Structure 1
């Protein structure tokens, strides 16, 4: 029976297979109510020409409330026009009819996983293809190399592409990338039509995402990162004006820098895309899920009407009306919060962060840090920003700090003067006396000027140390060997910095981030994109710690603070009582 189906499928057109897959997706990926809503939404949005119903770019942008100011509508439409052709990318771009939009929504909401059990990879490569353009110059060069002379490659002879091409100045090594798309293969296998896959989709190594398009998409992803299901994007319109908009652009630039140096290369290749996303942006595209789920909820359907004609009380999500960030910090704002959600699950961040410590308010000292942070019994996020120290240092304090570091200095990581680093610490903070604390969930990261996440190693466990005087080189460090109890003869006067580490001195005046690629990594893994030695020495401008958790964690901390306050008052009362008793005794004598 299987052989018969396979033999028949050779004579089936790609249009017929696409139709069959769309029906399969609609039946198994949508509930009956969702499918009914989708049909109603599509009907309300569709244009008609020659008996063909389809949706246009501006219609999709208006329905999803994509803001015009960031200019991303054409990028989203390009993605949809490619995904609508799934699994036959060579047919893109396609007119977005009913069946094509089923493909788009199923892929953008990741519901394809309900059907394509063997599509074990995520949609990253498919999204890359939907964003990329085909580099015809590179293809022509390869054709010339293969033929030994200048072969003329006409547009008709070149593989089809879903967008016009552009030239990439320098290509990365993509030899290890396969052209096969796991999701497309799984889709065709589910239809018993695997043999029709290998048809002329442009080789992925010859494709590249224009940097400007990727930046626009990143701005949109930053906006939609906190969206809940059915939540309107218009609710976050305040992030698109004035300083908020400029901050959104700056954050997008920092994220784009993780993929490509825009001063040298005009686009992002598949090798960079596949290398950066799993490490630094595993949740980058999560915002597409609630955004495209809007197609599954029709405003023309009254979901509150009961069978008896009465109306059910509206379901209100208590979280929606709570602010995404109860208060902004000197470093953390809504844009940086969305940036964090690209590698820390959003459910632990949005509406759940509380400012525990800010150096500008509480004072830059280990004591105030300890008082305000150590009672939090849930994960925390430390953020530190500063400006680069000149080389050689100019002020006396700068020179004193640099004297504690090894005289061999690595180059700066970038031309930018301003830097932002951070650490996600899953365990409660404590003072360390002999060994570091933390676990493999600890994350060391840079947010500005280049976004990158350095994951913890399981071999070296020097994750976090918090040491106070008289320990040598006291302060807070991440990825550094624990400082010795005290300075003794024969020990180096220089701080022992880890291969990938961040160290803040005891006065919170200066910090240093080190990436010793040559050493081969320590408590945190080396960068996979910046394979060189660099070091950023900076004067601390802002330092803050945010607690991850809800009301239960906050109440626990409040009770702990109240207990400590009562203990302190009781201790003061006892001391006063003893002092007054001593004075009274002396008077009697």
Structure 2
């Protein structure tokens, strides 16, 4: 289309026509006829009219999507969609949100554009960055001065679009590698859209250079709070159903969780905004599903409450509704842990698919209820045949340690030579394990899907590497260092006297001692990593030694996994009962002892009790 026309003529007339054509194509290919009919009805019911133009206002969209006022995020969302409505011509943003512009918004926010733009790996990450970012006017002015010749020659003609942005900006500190990002094609999604229309020659790179843009930290925190809130939304579920999460301690917890996630992108004490290289580094590694909650939220535009879907063409009555409507399971089971709440659950869903978390988790073990011991952990966790999530939280111990127990724990480690990871004394770590837990005698278990992560005070995910397979170890005596270790070499058998019994920690590792009293997280960036990759954002060495406050394990899965666990528990109980009923009244004490040893009830240094 337009191949035979002059370039100048095409540019004068094609932008509006191409936007219209792309909106028509998106509507036809991305919506069903019923969805498009509903979208038209919703738009008509919400739109204001001025000078013959129908459009949506900020407060109208906020009310329709039920965005809570307490979050103060409505203006941020409106800024985003006013930019996305101009797609693929970002230089024309902000735009009036008419019918065609809202088609662009819904298609992009719900990721339905993938039904049309299938060429290559087209994602919306950079597009969303531009929609949130502001333009650094000071940096732009400096760039323009650099481009001006000192004497004589003609000055380069500045692009009018480069002198403004779709929102007012402020000065930010420039990151070291932003220029490298700017050299890449950061408009691949827009180019894909134009390629689908056979109109690639009319593309105009009119946006401000992406290296000169940043997302204000305060705006991004507000958006993160909204994303935490909408993460568990199902299709057509009302956001008002989660209003209880916006009061009291839950609201404070929401803000705290948002701070931990924001810390993954930027140190707000040093920098006022998030730059593109931080955005592109953190999201793929630690928050790949951060924006998934937008999908069901913006699909509300595709369902009209004013349309009666019960009417049938044949005039027959619709089937009667069930007398007792099915009750949806809660997001978390009634058995609550001390670490995992709805905010942390949403945080986990940003890197673990939400369909394996929401309404799917079961509390298998909680140290506060079952006791902090390897034995109680083994009893409650080992029979679960589906993925599990271990969470541990606590407070840093002083250096040098003060109490006797702290000193005894520190004596099992090499002298501390790395600084703490941050100022906050409270830390939370975890591990996602896809394989069933078991006692390890010689080698660790786990696979490439195992994830070691930190939730507080900085959110980060450390992915499994292929350097070695020292993923997870669960060791009991006679190992030299008993407990749970993630990312460390498997503990060897107990050493003879005179040899070192210090714990061998991995480059990126988490270790919990045998009594579950203390733990240590190590990030040895200098060594180059081990079973887990180094941090992509914190390129320093650090170590957190902490006293464990809470420890819990959650099983991922539904009723089938729970039934399998119940059957294994029942089998173990029958076996234990059978051992208790063994007739030991023969009078032959030596034979009785041999029988007990064969059953594993006594023997060696065992006294018959449980071994922790």
Residue number in structure 1 paired with 2:605: none
Q: 1:201 aligns with which of 202, 207, 212?
A: 207
Give the deviation of 1:145 after TM superposition: 2.8
In structure 2, what is the equivalent of residue 552 of structure 1?
560
273, 277, 286: which one pairs with 1:271?
277
Partner of 1:364: 372
5 Å matches for 1:1-40?
A: 3-4=3-4, 9-10=10-11, 12-40=13-41
Measure, in 2, the Cα distance between the counterparts of 1:498 and 1:142. 46
Q: Which residue pairs with 1:586 in the alignment?
A: none
Q: Following TM superposition, by how much is the alpha carbon of 1:13 offset from its aligned partner in structure 2, in angstroms?
A: 2.9
Instruction: Give unpaired runs (5+ residues) of structure 1.
Output: 584-589
Scaled by the length of structure 1, the TM-score of the pair is: 0.95
SS at match of 1:540: strand
The 8 Å contact of residues 454 and 527 in structure 1, kept in 2 or not, is answered as yes
Please tell me whether the aligned partners of residues 304 and 314 of structure 1 are also in contact (alpha carbons under 8 angstroms).
no
| 1:93 counterpart residue number | 94
**Which deviates further from its counterpart, 187-196 or 533-542?**
187-196
1:435 aligns with 2:443: yes
Q: Bigger shift: 273-282 or 325-334?
A: 325-334
Q: Distance in 2 between matches of 1:283 and 1:294?
A: 20
> Equivalent residue for 1:587?
none
Query: Contact 1:472–1:486 (CA<8 Å) still a contact in 2?
Result: yes
Residue 172 of structure 2: aligned partner: 168
Whether 1:381 aligns to 2:389 is yes
User: Hey, what does 1:452 align to over in structure 2?
Assistant: 460
Alpha-carbon distance between aligned partners in 2 of 1:124 and 1:248, rounded to the nearest angstrom: 24
Q: CA deviation at 1:117?
A: 1.4
2:447 and 2:303 map into 1 onto residues whose CA distance is: 42
**What corresponds to 1:61 in structure 2?**
62
- 2:470 match: 462
- 8 Å Cα contact 2:526/2:541 also seen in 1: yes
Could you list the runs of 5+ residues in structure 2 that have no partner in the other structure?
590-612
Aligned residue number for residue 48 of structure 1 = 49
Note if contact 1:304-1:313 (Cα within 8 Å) is conserved in structure 2.
Answer: no
**For the residues of structure 2 that align with 1:414 and 1:341, how far apart are their CA atoms?**
24
Does the C-alpha gap of structure 1 residues 516 and 148 become closer, same or farther in structure 2, counting only changes over 3 Å? farther
Q: More deviation in 326-335 or 536-545?
A: 326-335
Which residue of the partner structure matches residue 536 of structure 2? 528
CA 444–6 in structure 1, closer or farther in 2 if over 3 Å, else same? farther
Aligned mates of 1:543, 1:52 — CA distance in 2: 58
Q: Deviations over 1:352-395 (max 9, x none)?
A: 00000000111100011000000000000000000001011000
- Aligned residue for 1:547, secondary structure, equals strand
Deviation at 1:180, TM superposition (A): 3.5
Which string of whole-angstrom CA distances, capped at 9 and with x for unpartnered residues, describes residues 537-570 of structure 1? 0000000000001001001101111111122222
Would the aligned equivalents of 1:6 and 1:192 in 2 still touch at CA under 8 Å?
no
| 1:41-190 mapped onto 2 (5 Å cutoff) | 41-118=42-119, 120-147=121-148, 158-177=162-181, 178-190=184-196
Give the C-alpha shift of residue 582 in structure 1.
Answer: 7.8
Shift of 1:488: 2.9
1:513 matched residue in structure 2: 521
Instruction: Please say if 1:287 is aligned against 2:288.
Output: no
SS at structure 2 position matched to 1:529: coil
SS in 1 for 2:195: helix
Change (3 A) 1:90 1:486: same
Distance 2:437 2:5 in 1: 62
Task: Please state how far the C-alpha of 1:263 moved relative to its aligned partner.
Answer: 0.3
SS in 1 for 2:393: strand
* Superposition TM-score, scaled by structure 2 size: 0.91
Report the alpha carbon displacement of residue 159 of structure 1 after superposing the two structures with TM: 3.0
Query: Secondary structure of 1:466's match?
Result: strand
* CA positional deviation for 1:241: 0.6
Most deviating of 4-13 and 306-315: 4-13
Deviation string for 1:220-241 (max 9, x for gaps)? 1001111111111111111111
Partner of 1:486: 494
CA distance in 1, matches of 2:327, 2:87: 34
Select the residue among 247, 250, 260 that pairs with 2:256: 250
Cα distance 1:413–1:315, how it changes in 2: closer, same or farther (>3 A)? farther
Tell me the CA shift for residue 10 of structure 1. 4.8
Residue matched to 2:415 = 407
Cα distance in 1 for partners of 2:274, 2:326 equals 37
Cα distance change on mapping 1:319 and 1:143 into 2, 3 Å: farther
Say if 1:383 and 1:420, in contact at 8 Å, map to a contact too. Answer: yes
Partners of 2:11 and 2:296 in 1: how far apart?
Answer: 38
Q: 1:54 to 1:390 in 2, by over 3 A?
A: same
Contact 1:41–1:298 under 8 Å retained in 2: yes
1:234 corresponds, among 228, 232, 240, to 240
Task: Give a deviation string over 1:391-428, Cα, whole Å, max 9, x none.
Answer: 11000110111111111420000000000000000000
Give the SS at the match of 1:301: coil
How many Å apart are 1:12 and its aligned residue?
3.0
